[in-house]
Amino acid sequence: MSDTTDGQVLTTQDGKPLKAALAKALRREKLRALLLIAPLLIFVLITFVAPIADMLFRSVENGIVAETLPKTAFALREWDPGSGNVPDEEVFAALYGDMVVAVGEKKHTRLGSRLNYEQSGISSLFRKTGRRIKRMDEAGPFTEQFLDADKKWGDVSTWQVLKQFSPKYTDGYFLNAFDAKRGIDGIEMKPADERIYMLLFGRTLFLSIVITLACLVLGYPIAFLLAALPLRTSNLLMILVLLPFWTSLLVRTSAWKVLLQQQGVINDFLVWTGLVSEAGRLVMINNQTGTIIAMTHILLPFMILPLYSVMKTISPTYVRAAKSLGANDWTAFWRVYFPQSVPGIGAGAVLAFILSIGYYITPELVGGTSGIFISNRIAYHISSSLNWGLAASLGTLLLVAVLVLFVVYDRIVGIDNVKLG
Amino acid sequence: MANTRGAAVKYDSVQKSYDGETLVVKNLNLDIPPGEFLTMLGPSGSGKTTCLMMLAGFEPATHGEIYLNDRPINNVPPHKRGIGMVFQNYALFPHMTVAENLAFPLQVRNMNKAEQEEKVQRALEMVELGAFGNRRPAQLSGGQQQRVAVARALVFNPELVLMDEPLGALDKQLREQMQYEIKHIHESLGVTVVYVTHDQTEALTMSDRVAVFNDGIIQQLSTPDDLYEDPQNSFVAQFIGENNKLSGKVIDIQGEECLVELGDGTQLKADRVNVSAVGDQTTLSLRPERVEFDTHDSMDNLVNARVEELIYLGDHIRVRMNVAGNDEFIVKVRNRGEKRTLNVGDTVPLGWALNDCKALDAVV
Ligand SMILES: Nc1ncnc2c1ncn2[C@@H]1O[C@H](COP(=O)(O)OP(=O)(O)O)[C@@H](O)[C@H]1O
Ligand SMILES: [Mg+2]
């Protein structure tokens, strides 16, 4: 402290400044710590951070037009889609040159299917043109020959798509993920019947909240019992809570199919008791109900465990103290026990919610069409439609949504209030 | 705080077993008059907490009845008993401020806000924490938390306050200070206090009466000075204060006196407290400070003893001696500033009065 007040710099025995010596000593410590965690750090970087970063990058990356049709992309810079006219001969000439090369390398179909995500029909346009390109006259004029090959070359919208995707980076995937597109006068929403992602995001959020609440309502009393019972009994109960972890997720989800389907166990039972008529069998699967029930079951342990570990630390003397001060059972619970269990609720809710929002298998199996999540759509684009850019942008949005919710949660509940034990 | 009337407590042949196999409390009969400060003193595991919990209503009595102001309370739930309680680890609610903690018993009694605030403030001032109302318990020192716990147990004017080893977590100096403070609060309020501790000094300093527990049984119920001067059995003599034991056999009984022969043939006269017949085995109990080096022939008991060890303690010197084969015999010599004349290995005469030497039961 004194080194600043009297203007003198404290030094070590051999005259080096004390602060520098301290920093040096600390640096060695830090370096050693870093070396210790290095294997894990490298592992995480290579197997986790790098693939995710690469995937996220795909949501804006868009080199394909510029690579396949470099001259066309360059020539299109001058063209204004707002004019309402197709580009002039110069651009068509560039396109011819590019296409000859692309067809020779057989790259035009790839470009066609890529641009087909943006506007259907482009894939066949490129295939058709590719077949005709060899028969075209090298001397031009090219405009008529292309129009001859396919009339779509006369559509402004075709060229607009080409122009829009000719830069190396694009916001097209993100627009798509927001159910929007770039029309002639800027960004506009897609027609109402083509909007699906915002609906899916909304549904994913809503169902995740419902599932989290259901887990809380069902899990709280169990965690309470676990923490309150004598050790022997509570161990047994704990095994029951953990039992689902030892069963395959698929098996558990399929079991729900057996239970919930219209000819399933529950419906049979309800019909047998007469609560439900044969014709009025309940539809409990392949819809949102199915997703909620199965997901709640699967995420329940993730709610119970943090709750339990927090409740375990709440000494029973608090409740006794409250009662000795005149509080009845409910008041003692609500005013004294419950507030102390809130950190557990926070941890359990965050865990269940974040797991739920990205869940994939269970909604896929029991969700039908009305009960699927955004993650199912992402999986579809990864493995079926092969539109990885869109999948990546949807994934990025999901990630951002979770982070935003996390920050909001931190503001309201406070992340330091979250305890896992 | 307003003076409260103390409540009368009565345990009537109370027994308690947790597992149906062993009795933790064996036939407890105890009458506590209003306003008394009664301490349950005993080693750990002797059943003190259990007795307190039965009174507070957190453990049911297996047999017998407990009365509060002559009303049987076995079937009254804890929150309707109106008994204040201070727990060993204070059990202050961590999510409430000190003031909220104190207001809690008033809120559940639906007292109006203004009156609550006034009472809380007065209770805080009673324990000299008037400025700490807005702190969380975790922001207070151990001693301050202790005071808050005491204030909270008293703020709703209970007639009876239970304290289960409330000072156990404090350091020695703070503990002594708190002993006096609790004692003064008790005196000024007039509440009945049932206090549990395993610390005999604490029990002797604070209590009107002390019930010495061992093995689920009250060994002796007396005022502090009685316990020290007239222990009724070897356990109490051993547990309260420092004590020399000499085992022997009764060879003669004359009214309130008896003659005891030790293992090496030494014969000593003793106060007959807990022996019934000639031939009984007995333990003689003798306080270290009652043994004299300045012997004279008219003393009741005279023996020769060898000095084994001298320990200098400032105000007095502890001398460990060998008396009749027992080399754990301690004598305290007041330090009068004279030059020390005792040396290890000396054999010197010792003497003590018959009344200071109690013939008790042989066990222990
Ligand atoms: N909740 C309980 N369940 C079973 N045994 C208990 C329980 N509480 C106390 N005991 C047993 O009862 C005996 C007396 O305990 P306790 O009343 O706490 O003694 P103390 O307070 O004097 O140390 C001990 O042997 C203890 O093991
Ligand atoms: Mg105890």
| Residues A116-168 pLDDT 10s | 888 888 889 988 888 888 888 888 788 888 888 888 888 888 888 888 888 88
- Nearest residue to A262 (alpha-carbon basis) of A271, A250, A275, A274: A271
Ligand in nearest proximity to the CA of B48:
1
User: What are B237's two structure tokens?
Assistant: 């003599």
d(CA A288, CA B200) in angstroms, rounded, equals 68
Give the pLDDT of residue A170. 85
**Which positions of chain A have pLDDT values less than 70?**
1-7, 184, 415, 417-421
- Write b or e for each residue in A87-117: b if 16 or more Cβ atoms lie within 10 A of its Cβ, otherwise e: beeebbbbbbbbbeebbeeebbeebbbbbbb
Q: Whose CA is nearest to atom 16 of ligand 1?
A: B47
Contact A91, A76 (CB under 8 A): yes
Give the pLDDT of residue A4. 47
pLDDT tens column, B212-232:
999 999 999 999 999 999 999
For a mutational test of ligand 1's pocket, the pick from B17, B22, B44, B50, i.e. the residue with the most ligand atoms closer than 8 A to its C-beta, is B50
User: What are A301's two structure tokens?
Assistant: 């342990």
- ipTM, two decimals: 0.84
Q: Percent of chain B having pLDDT more than 70?
A: 98
Q: Do B84 and A323 touch (CB under 8 A)?
A: no
User: Mapping DSSP to helix (H, G, I), strand (E, B) and coil, where does residue B232 land?
Assistant: coil
Which helix (H) or strand (E) covers residue B213, if one does?
A: strand B209-214
Give the pLDDT of residue A5. 46
pLDDT tens column, A233-273:
999 999 998 888 888 888 988 899 899 998 889 999 999 99
d(CA A241, CA A356) in angstroms, rounded, equals 19
Q: Whose CA is nearest to atom 20 of ligand 1?
A: B45
d(CA B237, CA B205) in angstroms, rounded, equals 17
pLDDT at B2 over 80: no
User: What are B41's two structure tokens?
Assistant: 């003193």
List residues of chain A with CB under 8 Å from any CB of chain B: 315, 317-318, 320-328, 331-332, 335-336, 339-340
pLDDT at B13 over 50: yes
pLDDT tens column, B237-259:
999 989 999 999 999 998 889 99
Q: Do A324 and B79 touch (CB under 8 A)?
A: yes
Q: Which residues surround ligand 2, an ion (CB under 5 A)?
A: B 49
Q: For B89, which of A317, A331, A332 is closest by C-beta distance?
A: A317
User: What are B149's two structure tokens?
Assistant: 């716990």
Strands B281-286 and B244-254: antiparallel
What is the phi-psi region of residue A14: left when phi exceeds 0, alpha when psi lies from -120 to 50, beta otherwise?
A: alpha
Question: Quick one: which atom of ligand 1 is closest to the CA of B59?
Answer: 1
Q: CA A251: distance to chain centroid?
A: 25
Instruction: Report chain B residues whose CB lies below 8 A from the CB of A331.
Output: 108
Q: For B108, which of A317, A321, A331 is closest by C-beta distance?
A: A331
Q: Do A317 and B87 touch (CB under 8 A)?
A: yes
Contact A311, A227 (CB under 8 A): yes
d(CA A155, CA A314) in angstroms, rounded, equals 71
Give the pLDDT of residue A156. 86
Mean pLDDT score of chain B: 91
* Unique residue bearing structure tokens 């007239």: B230
Sequence letter at residue B67:
Y
Give the pLDDT of residue B85. 95
User: What are chain B's domains?
Assistant: 9-234 (3.40.50.300), 242-361 (2.40.50.100)
pLDDT tens column, B254-275:
888 999 998 888 889 999 888 8
Positive or negative torsion for Cα A139, A145, A149, A154: positive
Give the pLDDT of residue A285. 87
pTM of the model: 0.80
Number of A to B CB contacts under 8 A, please give it: 61
- Nearest residue to A222 (alpha-carbon basis) of A243, A249, A205, A208: A243
Give the pLDDT of residue A292. 94
Q: Do B108 and A320 touch (CB under 8 A)?
A: no
Sequence letter at residue B258:
C
List residues of chain B with CB under 8 Å from any CB of chain A: 56-58, 77-85, 87, 89, 91, 93-95, 104-105, 108-109, 152-153, 156
Residues B135-161 have a mean pLDDT of: 94
